[in-house]
Amino acid sequence: MSEEPTVEQLIQAAHARAGNDDELALLDAVIALAQDVSTHTDAAVDQVVRQVRDAGHSWTVIGEHLGISRQAARQRYTGRVDRVEEAPPPVGLIRGRDLESSLSAALAAAEADGLAEAGTEHLLLGLLTDGVAAATLERLGATRDKIRDASHRLFDYPTGPTPPQHTVFSPQAKGALAVAEQLATERTPTCAPVVVNTPQLLAVIATNPGSRARRVLDDIGIDTADIKRQLHCYINVPRTAFGRRSRRRSRPDERSARCSFCGHPRTEERRLVAGPDVWICADCVALCGEILALPSGARSK
């Protein structure tokens, strides 16, 4: 195995990736390299854990080698080594750990319902597992019990015991995931790796009027507009070279005014306030006010 790269080698690689001498471009490149290394490391551990399981070793033995308990090893890796491959990401796209955990939880929820396919209502349940989507749903009052009860009222699920089966994602759920991946691709700065996380998936299933997840949200009284406001700054990043405007300190051009946070242009309905080389729209101002009004612990979710 080759030696671990030094800090100087990593910075040199980041310079090559950035392609110019701009300090912020270098920062973007270093962050991208760190994400690549972290993702590949996680994937390597997942693959080897799968091989160990296939060889017949128990979760107790695996936990001992990982330095965690049997229960923790099983909870952390069962979904990641056995489930997520049901809907592999396209080449060149990375799924965040929060999204992988959510997809695994969605399949587990469908299995618990005795279903052969996990629908978008199960994706909604899975999104309560981790990440920005979980914090958003919890903030708006969504719970697993509410979502589960609404799903069982709205849809036909088996009532008796069912034999074990290999659950997969429904075509609608796969379609929602594909749209979320496309959204992440469109909104990621061109210098950064495309990473899809839970905000994109929640935005897709919540704003699709025909999705089962949307029907569940309507049933439990959660307004889709509230979800969109909460996720606004996570999914609306202009796809420019560095995902931001020039750092030149001057008043922005009013003829091409766009919100520097969400990327939307100025319209009659969307008013903008100008700053040094930046604009901010009324929606983003309102969202900032809501975030700052939260307790400090809740803002970090």
pLDDT tens digits for 86-114? Answer: 556 666 677 788 888 899 899 888 888 88
Q: What is the pLDDT of residue 7?
A: 72
Quick one: pLDDT at residue 20? Answer: 67
- 10-14, 82-86, 109-113, 120-124: lowest mean pLDDT where? 82-86
User: CB–CB of 188/135 below 8 Å?
Assistant: no
Contacts of 250 (CB under 8 A, 6+ apart): 276, 277
Whole-model pTM? Answer: 0.54
What pLDDT does 266 receive?
75
- Spell out the residues 6+ positions from residue 98 whose beta carbon is closer than 8 angstroms to its own: 129, 130, 131, 132, 133, 134, 197, 198
Say what the pLDDT of residue 125 is: 93
Residue 159 near residue 57, CB atoms below 8 Å: no
Q: What pLDDT does 180 receive?
A: 87
In the predicted structure, residue 156 carries a pLDDT above the cut 90: no
Lowest mean pLDDT among 146-160, 188-202, 226-240, 271-285: 226-240
Question: What letter represents residue 44's amino acid?
Answer: A
Q: What pLDDT does residue 250 have? A: 44
| Rounded mean pLDDT, 259-272 | 75
- Interacting residues of 136 by C-beta distance below 8 A, sequence separation 6+: 199, 202, 227, 230, 231
Name the pLDDT band for 192 (thresholds 50, 70, 90): low
Helix (H) or strand (E) holding 118: strand 117-118
Nearest one of 282, 278, 279 to 268, comparing CA atoms:
282
pLDDT at position 276 over 70 = no
Summarize the confidence of residues 56-73 as an average pLDDT: 78
Query: What is d(CA 187, CA 181) in angstroms, rounded to the nearest whole number?
Result: 10
How confident is the model over 206-231, as a mean pLDDT? 89
pLDDT over 60 (residue 218): yes
